Amino acid sequence: MLKIISAIVLIGVVFLLVRYATNTKQIASESAAKGAAFLAENAKAEGVKTTASGLQYKVLTTGTGTVHPTATDRVRSGALSWHINQRYCF
Between 60 and 44, the higher pLDDT residue: 44
Looking from the CA of 21 toward its CB, the CA atoms found within 13 Å total 6
In the predicted structure, residue 90 carries a pLDDT above the cut 60: no
Dihedral angle at the C-alpha atoms of 26, 28, 30, 36, nearest 10 degrees? -150
pTM of whole model > 0.75?
A: no
For residue 58, pLDDT beyond 70: yes
Q: Is the pLDDT of residue 27 over 80?
A: yes
Pairwise CA distance, residues 48 & 39, whole Å: 10
**26 vs 90, higher pLDDT:** 26
pLDDT given for residue 4 in this prediction: 87
